[in-house]
Amino acid sequence: MKTIVRNRIAESVALSKLEEGVLRVVLYFDVFGHPVDSKEIFKYFPSRVRSRDAIEGALGSLLAKSLIRKKLGYYFLRTAAEQCVAERIEKQRRAIRRMSIAGLVGRFISFFPFVRAVMVSGELSKGVASPASDIDFVVVVEDGRLWITRTILIAFKKVFLLNSKKYFCLNHFITEGNLIVEQRNFYTALELATLKPLVNRRLHARYLTANGWIREYFPNHMDVKTAGEQYARPPFRSFLEKLFPAEFTDRVEASLMARWQRIWDRRYAHLAQEDRKHRFRCLPGISTAYGEDFQQRVLVKYEYRLQHYGLPPIGHAN
């Protein structure tokens, strides 16, 4: 059975399931002006395929049907600007430098009390970096110590970095016992699949294993390998943690969480309560703080592209 899609080049074009799947991937990354290569299309293809050869064949068909174009090994929509390839190459060069910085900052973050793992997310985790982009970190902390850890790190950023988040963007904290992501859609699956571990690769592997549902979206995504040396906690961090008696820390944890909730409620009072709860997760095992709902914006733009090409929406896991 073939899907009929519409585009600005042809009145209507019949697509095989393989071609439709490839087009879905290209359409998603078009939201970011990001051309993709065949390896990335294979990895994020929405159904199981045996090899990249099948993907290459579908790409050839889509090229012949004038739905996509190719330049320097990258594929993009026929209607996209050709300069997107040069922009991606430049972003990749910039990302190499940014990842070096991210590695140093991630290691620095790991010295703070109760930090157990540090990962890079966002644009940089996809191997690219725009001039104005931040370095986004996901920080995993010890159970029952999320809010004191977050408060210490944010205080450091405000005092010593003058609240700059360029290389110190800390919007997402989770605890070791709360690794399962509840919100499941194409966006969150891709963000998880592209996370780059900086500190404690084994915990990063546990994180992905706990969220095995991402293979419902990307069944060709490579299995996570846990090989490597056991993560050794920095002695300095162990010393700092001894400065926080358990009784004191247990007592202030809940009050700090409540304080952050009041801050966000006051600062973002213009948002609807449900919207505020979505952007600013404030629970014992998770803290998120996003000034704008970037996820929803991306999904809306992706949905528009799918509709424009006559493709049904991506199914959700729940």
Q: Which of 58, 136, 123 is nearest to 87 (CA)?
A: 123
Distance spanning both ends of the chain, measured CA to CA? 26
- In a 10 Å sphere around its CB, with 0-12 CB exposed, 13-18 middle and 19+ buried, how is residue 58 labelled? buried
Report yes or no: 188 and 295 within 8 Å, Cβ to Cβ: yes
How far apart are alpha carbons 56 and 133 in whole angstroms? 32
- Which is more confident, 227 or 13? 13
Q: What integer is the mean pLDDT of 114-125?
A: 97
Note the pLDDT of residue 9: 41
Domains in the chain: boundaries: 3-82, 89-292
Question: Cβ of 162: how many Cβ atoms within 10 Å?
Answer: 7
Residue 50: per-residue pLDDT: 85
Instruction: Write out pLDDT tens, residues 185-213.
Output: 999 999 999 999 999 999 999 999 999 99
At what angle are helices 186-193 and 201-210 packed, to 10 degrees? Answer: 150
CATH pick for 3-82 out of 3.90.79.10, 1.10.10.10, 3.40.50.300, 1.20.1440.230: 1.10.10.10
Q: What is residue 295's DSSP assignment?
A: H
Contact 59, 23 (CB under 8 A): no
Percent of the chain with pLDDT over 90: 84
Q: 224: which residues sit within 8 A by CB, 6+ positions away?
A: 204, 205, 208, 209
CB–CB of 44/193 below 8 Å?
yes
pTM of the model: 0.91
In this predicted model, what pLDDT tens digit does every residue of 121-177 receive, in sequence order?
A: 999 999 999 999 999 999 999 999 999 999 999 999 999 999 999 999 999 999 999
State pLDDT tens for residues 29-67: 999 999 999 999 999 999 999 889 999 999 999 999 999
pLDDT higher than threshold 80 for residue 102: yes
Q: Which residue has the tokens 């966002």?
A: 122
109 Cβ neighbours under 8 A, 6+ residues apart: 115, 118, 137, 139, 153, 170, 199
Whole-angstrom distance, CA of residue 161 vs CA of residue 25: 38
**How confident is the model over 241-258, as a mean pLDDT?**
93
- Confidence band of 184 (pLDDT split at 50, 70, 90): very high
Per-residue pLDDT at 317 exceeds 50: no
Which helix (H) or strand (E) segment holds residue 249: the answer is helix 246-267
pLDDT at 2 exceeding the cut of 90: no
Higher per-residue pLDDT: 157 or 11: 157
